[in-house]
A and B are shown apart, each in its own frame.
Chain A
Amino acid sequence: EAGVAQSPRYKIIEKRQSVAFWCNPISGHATLYWYQQILGQGPKLLIQFQNNGVVDDSQLPKDRFSAERLKGVDSTLKIQPAKLEDSAVYLCASSWPRQAYTGELFFGEGSRLTVL
């Protein structure tokens, strides 16, 4: 079974520039998550999709972050304009709907963003 795919793995940009991250979940997983992991901290949920609908985006900084999941499969997370404090690893995860209750999430390797 192929895992969660993310790209790019690494990205370096200057503040105020924009960046986009892409995620392809495990086939058949209806629930998709974007987490932000700052160095030395645990992952923080940014947004959760069920198919192509948003379940939770309460911690997404909507003035600069946006995410979409067209057709209920792939997802894109965009940051525009980036700030220094956005330097982090952006983790995409997916699960079957019931696993959203049990916390059984399957993570990709992450996209590491450095904002200079």
Chain B
Amino acid sequence: QKEVEQDPGPLSVPEGAIVSLNCTYSNSAFQYFMWYRQYSRKGPELLMYTYSSGNKEDGRFTAQVDKSSKYISLFIRDSQPSDSATYLCAMSANTGGFKTIFGAGTRLFVKA
């Protein structure tokens, strides 16, 4: 079993839709939870991170962490064609030094 599981998609939605992206994980030691966005042929860029359980909102993006279920989500409101990218969840734990583990990424297409 992988430490971090993420549905690779692709996920195709119309412009303006609410998008829900999710990851599950197995290691209860994970403390920080991140979402990165990666455009084609570019490096990942950090969208937001949260510590432990709870919600965090930044503009059209909301990240949720449920540590009891080992489940994290990213919601995108009013999705735009420019949101079309691969979204990578990531999480870090202190395993003798912090290491950041990435999910496989979900490809999102927002159609105009």
What residues of chain A have their CB less than 8 Å away from a CB belonging to chain B? 4, 35, 40-45, 48, 55-56, 91, 93, 100-110, 112
Q: Is the CB–CB distance between B91 and A103 below 8 Å?
A: yes
Q: Is the CB–CB distance between B8 and A43 below 8 Å?
A: no
> With A40-B8, A91-B43, A109-B43 known to touch, is A101 a contact of B103 (CB < 8 Å)?
no
Residues of A within 8 A of B46 (CB): 103-106
> With A103-B34, A103-B49 known to touch, is A42 a contact of B6 (CB < 8 Å)?
yes
Q: Is the CB–CB distance between B88 and A42 below 8 Å?
A: yes
> With A4-B43, A43-B44 known to touch, is A104 a contact of B34 (CB < 8 Å)?
yes
> With A40-B104, A42-B104 known to touch, is A102 a contact of B32 (CB < 8 Å)?
yes
- B60 within 8 A of partner (CB): no
Residues of A within 8 A of B94 (CB): 101
Most B CB within 10 A of own CB, among A45, A103, A112 = A103
- Going nearest first, the 6 A-B pairs with the smallest beta carbon separation are A107-B43, A42-B102, A103-B92, A103-B100, A103-B34, A101-B98
Please, how many residues of chain B have a CB less than 8 angstroms from a CB on the other chain? 29
Residues of B within 8 A of A35 (CB): 102
Q: Is the CB–CB distance between B99 and A48 below 8 Å?
A: yes
Task: Tell which of A42, A48, A112 touches B103, judged by Cβ atoms closer than 8 Å.
Answer: A42
A101 to B33 alpha-carbon distance, docked (Å): 10
- Which of B71-102 touch A at CB < 8 Å? 88, 90-92, 94, 97-102
Q: Is the CB–CB distance between B43 and A56 below 8 Å?
A: no
Residues of B within 8 A of A101 (CB): 31-32, 92, 94, 98
Residues of A within 8 A of B45 (CB): 107
> With A107-B43, A107-B45 known to touch, is A42 a contact of B105 (CB < 8 Å)?
yes
A101 to B99 alpha-carbon distance, docked (Å): 7
A10 to B32 alpha-carbon distance, docked (Å): 33
